Amino acid sequence: MTKHFTGWRKSRHSDPNGGCVEAGRAADGTIGVRDSKGDLSIMLEFAPKDWATFLNSLRETRA
């Protein structure tokens, strides 16, 4: 069964020309990440714990 993601949000770090990365959430807490300018049916899916680890890794890289 395909998960239904809602509440898609554009990254604040996306290009102003419209090319962006968006994240949405499924009812079970799974996070979906997609490229808004491509095929919207293709996305990465993260369990909540894995999403938190991914974001923390990005923050550490920027520090």
pLDDT tens-digit profile of 5-51? 999 998 777 777 767 889 999 999 999 999 887 776 788 999 999 99
Domain of residue 29 covers 5-62
More reliable by pLDDT, 63 or 35:
35
Cα(13)–Cα(55) distance, integer angstroms? 13
Token digits of residue 13: 């770090």
Which pLDDT band holds residue 63 (cuts at 50, 70, 90)? Answer: low
Q: What angle do CA 3, 10, 26 make, to 5 degrees?
A: 20
Residues 16-55 as b/e (b if ≥16 CB within 10 A, e otherwise) read eeeebbbbbbeeeebbbbbeeeeeeeebeebeeeebeeee
Q: Give the pLDDT score at 15.
A: 72
Domain count, the chain: 1
